[in-house]
Amino acid sequence: MNKYLIVPFLLFFKIGFAQIESDSIGFEKIEDVIELFSSTDSLLLQKSDSTGFKDHVEATLIDSLWLNELIKSPLYDTIQYVLRDDEIVITELEELPTDLLKERLLVLDSKTPFHIEYNPQLESIIKTYLRRRKSSFSNLLEKARFYFPLFEEHLDEYDIPLEVKYLAIVESALKPRARSRVGATGLWQFMYQTGKMFDLQVSSYVDERSDPYKATEAACKYLASLYKIFGDWDLALAAYNSGPGNVSKAIRRSGGSKNYWNIRHNLPRETAGYVPAFYATLYIFEYAKEHKIIAKENSLAYFETDTVQIKKQLTFEQIYETLNVDIEVLQFLNPQYKLDIVPYIKGRNYTLTLPVKDIGKFLSNEKEIYAFAEAEEAKREKPLPNYIEEKSRTIYRVRSGDFLGKIANKFGVSVSSLKRWNNMRSTRLKIGQRLTIYPKNMGNVTSSKPQNSPVKKLLPKGKYDTYIVKSGDSLWLIAQKYPNVSVQNIKDWNNIWSVKSLKPGTKLKIFKI
């Protein structure tokens, strides 16, 4: 029997039992076998005497490694960032002549482990992005200032090229709650089962595929494993998009070639545009200044945030009430919490990300914050009071620019109440959506034009202190300074219906009770 047929047979036999004996064969030994076969002139092309069938042994090894890793692609499609064929413009761009582009691509190629070679298709994609989507890159640059330092931290830990950070733009346009038509979710677009393989949990409260920290860690593990299989970062990216099996098939159909550009025509259509979209994004970000693309101002940078581990359940609204951190900021920093609730579940370490300036306040008042949350939850878990009459209900139609926090402030109610009244499991709203609201202290509210301020309550008689609001104050923190005074007391005494109306310099009456 031909010796070249014996070795693959033994190799398959051993790999087939890899789950039983996980250390029986490692990547280094497999690479030794690949090197042995590489010495043949036929590029690993072997023939059977009986059938005449040919096979690429290296592609077969890739298949085996893929099965051994039990990895499935996290993506079956991509958020529409990759250009369709009919979107690509074949045109000249005055600011980027072909010779200049070739020169810049050579520079990028010399600095990265990717094969960034000039070709007309890549030129067309880059110029189409610059001509048609230039303004959107300003928004992406703004988001990147927050996310890229986080990505780079993890990529460096796993010895992955830092340029891979641009992959998250192709995947999700840096939207942590992005969801594709088939359910791939998060910055790195994990499918449910693939996320579970990397310990990304999904429940009614939490979707860790949207957790910037945990999802980035999972993406690094997955990409590192793909690189071990293919030994090439271009092919690893292609496999991340379409699955290792499709890349292996393309290698076979291309005569055993492992250069992305040589196998591109045999990849699924979307993957054929996926890696060029990555290259085009890399180019535009690296030469953003030359193309006059400027990031919009970002109020929060990655280094200005920190995390704390939660010891009891907290809602975003309770954090808002106690620390005066806007709910929109909490949602941006903690996109994994689907219901704006940070749950406490034994065995799962759920964290809360806050601006650094608020971390100290949280830690200094941790017990009091949890006590406040428990008291609030005890009140809010009760059903709607029997005395609420049908006539006190109003129907509000969602308008462009609305979000739950804004609507809650308008009617003087809580976000959690809005969600409870309307059977909502998330904070997502649609224009034209009707919300049932039971306004608080609002008098006669109509569905079309709700009043903007509550009815004033009678003030208690007696002496009071005047408190001048300072930067960083919240109603809860102010209430802590006075015995027997609650947040609701301060709201009632000062006709406050929105925490957002609490600005430095505001004078508050604090009665002695």
Task: Answer yes or no: is pLDDT of 441 > 70.
Answer: no
Looking at residues 26-42, what average pLDDT do you find? 38
Contact 151, 165 (CB under 8 A): yes
Cα–Cα distances in angstroms (integers) from residue 441 to residues 68, 75, 224, in the given order: 63, 49, 57
Task: Answer yes or no: is pLDDT of 50 > 80.
Answer: no
Confidence bin at 496 (pLDDT 50/70/90)? confident
Looking at residues 364-375, what average pLDDT do you find? 90
241: amino acid identity, one letter: N
Looking at residues 445-466, what average pLDDT do you find? 59
Contact 490, 475 (CB under 8 A): yes
Structure confidence at residue 345 (pLDDT): 87
510 membership: H or E segment, kind and range:
strand 507-511
Structure confidence at residue 442 (pLDDT): 44
Confidence bin at 13 (pLDDT 50/70/90)? very low
State residue 84 phi and psi, 5-degree precision.
Answer: -75, 160
Among candidates 79, 71, 77, 78, which has minimal Cα distance to 193?
Answer: 71
Structure confidence at residue 376 (pLDDT): 79
Contact 457, 490 (CB under 8 A): no
With DSSP H G I counted as helix, E B as strand and the rest as coil, what are the percentages for the chain, rounded to 5?
A: 50, 10, 40
Contact 369, 322 (CB under 8 A): yes
The tens digit of pLDDT for each residue in 179-203 reads 988 889 999 999 999 999 999 999 9
Task: Say which residues have a Cβ less than 8 Å from residue 89's Cβ, sequence separation at least 6.
Answer: 124, 127, 128, 131, 132
Contact 78, 270 (CB under 8 A): yes
Task: Answer yes or no: is pLDDT of 249 > 90.
Answer: yes
Confidence bin at 59 (pLDDT 50/70/90)? low
- Concatenating the DSSP letter of every residue in 133-176 gives SHHHHHHHHHHHHHHHHHHHHHHHHTT--GGGGGHHHHHHTT-T
Between the ranges 3-12, 400-409, 490-499, where is the mean pLDDT highest?
400-409
Read off the tokens for 457: 């309550």
Q: What is the mean pLDDT of the chain?
A: 79
86 burial level (CB within 10 Å; 0-12, 13-18, 19+): exposed
Contact 505, 468 (CB under 8 A): yes
State residue 345 phi and psi, 5-degree precision.
Answer: -130, 125
Q: Which residue has the higher pLDDT, 182 or 312?
A: 312
Instruction: Please identify which residue in the block is written with the tokens 């703004």.
Output: 142
Q: Which residue has the higher pLDDT, 210 or 90?
A: 210
The tens digit of pLDDT for each residue in 130-139 reads 988 888 898 8
Q: Which residue has the higher pLDDT, 33 or 235?
A: 235
Looking at residues 282-311, what average pLDDT do you find? 88
Cα–Cα distances in angstroms (integers) from residue 462 to residues 48, 153, 330, 512, in the given order: 101, 58, 39, 8
Structure confidence at residue 38 (pLDDT): 38
N-terminal to C-terminal alpha carbon distance within the chain? 98
Looking at residues 115-128, what average pLDDT do you find? 90
Instruction: Please identify which residue in the block is written with the tokens 């990147």.
Output: 144
Looking at residues 52-79, what average pLDDT do you find? 54
Cα(189)–Cα(177) distance, rounded to whole angstroms?
9
Kindly list the domain boundaries of the chain, sorted by start residue.
3-69, 85-286, 302-380, 383-455, 464-511
Structure confidence at residue 447 (pLDDT): 37
Using DSSP, state whether 212 is helix, strand or coil: helix
State residue 50 phi and psi, 5-degree precision.
Answer: -85, -35
Contact 198, 225 (CB under 8 A): no
Instruction: Report domain 464-511's class.
Output: alpha beta
Confidence bin at 80 (pLDDT 50/70/90)? low
Instruction: Report domain 85-286's class.
Output: mainly alpha
Looking at residues 13-17, what average pLDDT do you find? 32
The tens digit of pLDDT for each residue in 456-482 reads 556 777 888 899 988 878 888 888 888
Domain 383-455, CATH among 3.40.50.700, 3.30.300.130, 3.40.50.300, 3.10.350.10: 3.10.350.10
Structure confidence at residue 438 (pLDDT): 81
Cα–Cα distances in angstroms (integers) from residue 263 to residues 209, 228, 234, 436, in the given order: 31, 19, 11, 56
Among candidates 374, 375, 354, which has minimal Cα distance to 363?
Answer: 354
Looking at residues 348-372, what average pLDDT do you find? 91
Contact 207, 185 (CB under 8 A): yes
| Sign of the torsion formed by the C-alpha atoms of 208, 211, 214 and 215 | positive
Cα(154)–Cα(160) distance, rounded to whole angstroms?
9
Read off the tokens for 280: 């085009």
Looking at residues 383-400, what average pLDDT do you find? 66
Task: Answer yes or no: is pLDDT of 290 > 80.
Answer: yes
| Sign of the torsion formed by the C-alpha atoms of 252, 253, 256 and 262 | negative
| SS3 per-residue string spanning 434-500 | EEEECCCCCCCCCCCCCCCCCCCCCCCCCCEEEEECCCCCCHHHHHCCCCCCCHHHHHHHCCCCCHH
The tens digit of pLDDT for each residue in 318-329 reads 998 899 888 888
Structure confidence at residue 449 (pLDDT): 40
0.75 surpassed by pTM:
no
CA dihedral 183, 189, 191, 196 (to 10 degrees): -130
Between the ranges 72-76, 130-134, 181-185, 212-216, where is the mean pLDDT highest?
212-216
CATH topology identical between 85-286 and 464-511: no
